[in-house]
């Protein structure tokens, strides 16, 4: 990633916690976020993994996985905050910026962890369109769609998302599945900002 902010900075919480779990986070002199608690997972989260050819199912507590997940819809920010004695912020701010702790940088005299902001590159350079597209007539549902409104009259639907990750990508998170899941949660939250509200 190309660096946007060339010197380290130390974000701070201006308001620790509102009655609704909201927080005000000052990133630097130019960026202050009004964070609200995020929820993108169900109560129960299923992680499927493989050990050799054996499929392993691990059920996880969704609220635990997203306990440190926050967003600011106006700023299109989705990030995790951990504050176990030292504030660490990681995630996306707007469509172009990413914030991460910079542990290699010197701490402040108060012991605060330095952070850096990086620019998110445009597009998907270096990625290939490896998706296999079904034939055009695959989704021909005209015969079945006569009275779909009579059959399915749900006001709210809850789609499930299946994310496939290989071991090379998992290694970007030092093999820690929880960090990978939080990364996916932040990206799902960001995608939600991009979809226009219709209701």
Confidence at residue 164, expressed as pLDDT on a 0 to 100 scale? 85
Is residue 100 scored above 80 in pLDDT?
yes
Across-strand partners of 48? 57
Q: Are 37 and 69 in contact (CB under 8 A)?
A: yes
Confidence at residue 199, expressed as pLDDT on a 0 to 100 scale? 47
Confidence at residue 89, expressed as pLDDT on a 0 to 100 scale? 92
The model's pTM is 0.73
Confidence at residue 120, expressed as pLDDT on a 0 to 100 scale? 79
Is residue 184 scored above 80 in pLDDT?
yes
- Give the β-pairing of 23-26 and 44-51: unpaired
Is residue 18 scored above 50 in pLDDT?
yes
Provide the pLDDT confidence category of residue 32 given band limits of 50, 70 and 90: very high
Is residue 31 scored above 60 in pLDDT?
yes
* Distance, CA of 49 to CA of 55 (rounded, Å): 6
Is residue 55 scored above 80 in pLDDT?
yes
Confidence at residue 126, expressed as pLDDT on a 0 to 100 scale? 53
Across-strand partners of 35? 23
- Between 54 and 105, where is the model more confident? 54
Condensed to tens digits (0 to 9), the pLDDT of residues 135-181 reads 666 555 555 555 556 556 777 777 777 888 888 888 888 888 889 99
Condensed to tens digits (0 to 9), the pLDDT of residues 60-97 reads 998 899 889 999 999 999 999 987 778 899 999 988 88
Confidence at residue 140, expressed as pLDDT on a 0 to 100 scale? 56
Is residue 5 scored above 60 in pLDDT?
no
Provide the pLDDT confidence category of residue 131 given band limits of 50, 70 and 90: low
Beta strands in the chain (DSSP E): 2-3, 12-15, 23-26, 32-37, 44-51, 54-61, 69-72, 77-83, 87-93, 97-101, 115-119
* Distance, CA of 27 to CA of 9 (rounded, Å): 8
């Amino acid at each position: 990633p190309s660096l946007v902010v060339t010197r380290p900075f130390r974000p701070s919480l201006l308001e620790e916690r509102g009655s609704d779990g909201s927080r005000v986070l000052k990133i630097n002199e130019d960026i202050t976020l009004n964070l609200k608690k995020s929820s993108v997972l169900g109560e129960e989260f299923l992680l499927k993994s493989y050990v050799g050819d054996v499929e392993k199912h691990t059920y996880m507590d969704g609220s635990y996985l997203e306990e440190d997940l926050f967003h600011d819809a106006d700023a299109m920010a989705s990030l995790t905050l951990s504050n176990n004695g030292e504030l660490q912020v990681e995630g996306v701010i707007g469509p172009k910026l990413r914030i991460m702790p910079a542990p290699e940088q010197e701490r402040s005299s108060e012991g605060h962890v330095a952070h850096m902001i990086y620019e998110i590159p445009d597009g998907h350079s270096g990625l290939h369109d490896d998706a296999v597209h079904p034939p055009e007539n695959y989704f021909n549902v005209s015969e079945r769609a006569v009275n779909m409104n009579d059959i399915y009259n749900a006001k709210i639907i809850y789609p499930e998302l299946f994310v496939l990750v290989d071991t090379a990508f998992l290694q970007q998170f030092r093999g820690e599945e929880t960090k990978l899941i939080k990364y996916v949660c932040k990206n799902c939250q960001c995608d939600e900002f991009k979809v226009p509200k219709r209701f």
